[in-house]
């Protein structure tokens, strides 16, 4: 692990710095060990609620996820909306960028090549698929298995922080948003995108694998604007991508 990567890391629970300890990472104050597996540091502890459910689900469907999504868009002649929501990001040259819930890494293909990209996800299966995609696309990224509610990064580590798809099903949306604020530099625009209620409920036209990924729920999903800390600036929530998604944006003061 490069020194510049290690310098941004911290224990997600205590915020103490980490150091190398053989093939692991170690909390410099408590001695707690975080293993590194196939080059990916592991920060996921005991999961509960929806996080546990969806970790299990995505580990299972990861190998065929990209193909299923591509076939769905091709058969249904659905446009790729990534350009629209990624255009909300403010990425300066050579920026340090964090994607929360990186999945198979599909968004990275649409981002500048001069950035330093970090991605976290709770699913080991999705991270492994992301690694394979990075090799295929000849892109580089620093990947971590971690929860959105427990980001393993120091305060103000990133020039750009975003999340696209998944927060509707997080165990603790409020804490996840606070964590995104924590790791963003002052002045950073944070972007959160996910499907709106009517899109989630329109599951009858999805492929089986995507239908399983985004099941119909008894409770309604909604934009989590109420969880944005009150001190944030320029708070905005609107529908994008033809009314398929909400886009929540705000700026860290």
| Inside any domain, residue 209 | yes
State the Cα–Cα distance between residues 53 and 169, nearest whole angstrom. 10
The answer to whether 251 and 234 have CB atoms below 8 angstroms apart is: yes
Q: Which two tokens stand for residue 154?
A: 């120091």
CA 214 from chain centre, in angstroms, equals 16
pTM to 2 decimal places: 0.91
- CB-side neighbour CA atoms (13 Å) of 245: 20
Instruction: Cite the DSSP H helix spans in 173-248.
Output: 173-183, 197-201, 208-213
Structural domain includes residue 22? no
Higher pLDDT, 11 or 203: 11
CB 101 within 8 A of CB 148: yes
Banded pLDDT at 45 (limits 50, 70, 90): confident
185 touches 159 (CB < 8 A): yes
pLDDT in tens, 98-136: 999 999 999 999 999 999 999 999 999 999 999 999 999
Does residue 24 belong to any structural domain of this protein? Answer: no
Per-residue pLDDT tens digits for 180-194? 999 999 999 999 999
- Total structural domains in the chain? 1
Residue 207: domain span: 43-251
Q: Is residue 176 part of a domain?
A: yes
Establish if 35 belongs to a structural domain.
no
Output DSSP code: residue 228.
Answer: S
Q: Which stretches of the chain are DSSP H helices?
A: 3-6, 49-76, 82-86, 124-137, 173-183, 197-201, 208-213
Q: Residue 129's domain is classified under what CATH number? A: 3.40.50.150
Give the integer Cα–Cα distance in Å for 156 and 184.
Answer: 5
φ, ψ for residue 87 (rounded to 5)? -65, -15
Q: Is residue 34 part of a domain?
A: no
Residue 28 domain-assigned (yes or no): no
Within-domain flag for 191: yes
């Amino acid at each position: 692990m490069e020194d510049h990567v290690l310098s941004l890391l911290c224990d997600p629970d205590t915020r103490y710095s980490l150091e190398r300890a053989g093939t692991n990472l170690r909390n410099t104050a408590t001695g707690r060990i975080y293993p590194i597996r196939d080059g990916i540091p592991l920060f996921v502890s005991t999961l509960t609620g929806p996080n546990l459910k969806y970790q299990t689900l995505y580990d299972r469907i990861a190998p065929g996820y990209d193909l299923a999504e591509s076939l769905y868009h091709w058969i249904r002649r659905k446009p790729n909306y990534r350009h629209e929501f990624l255009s909300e990001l403010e990425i300066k040259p050579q920026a340090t960028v964090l994607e929360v819930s990186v999945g198979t890494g599909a968004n990275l293909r649409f981002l500048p090549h001069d950035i330093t990209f970090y991605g976290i996800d709770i699913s080991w299966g999705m991270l492994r698929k992301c690694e394979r995609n990075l090799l295929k696309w000849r892109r580089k990224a620093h990947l971590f298995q971690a929860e959105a509610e427990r980001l393993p990064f120091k305060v103000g580590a990133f020039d750009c922080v975003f999340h696209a798809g998944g927060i509707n099903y997080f165990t603790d949306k409020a804490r996840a948003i606070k964590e995104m604020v924590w790791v963003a530099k002052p002045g950073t625009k944070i972007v959160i995108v996910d499907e709106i209620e009517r899109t989630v409920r329109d599951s009858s036209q999805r492929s089986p694998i995507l239908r399983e990924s985004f099941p119909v729920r008894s409770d309604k999903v909604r934009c989590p604007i109420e969880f944005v800390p009150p001190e944030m600036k320029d708070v905005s929530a609107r529908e994008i991508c033809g009314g398929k998604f909400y886009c929540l944006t705000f700026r860290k003061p």
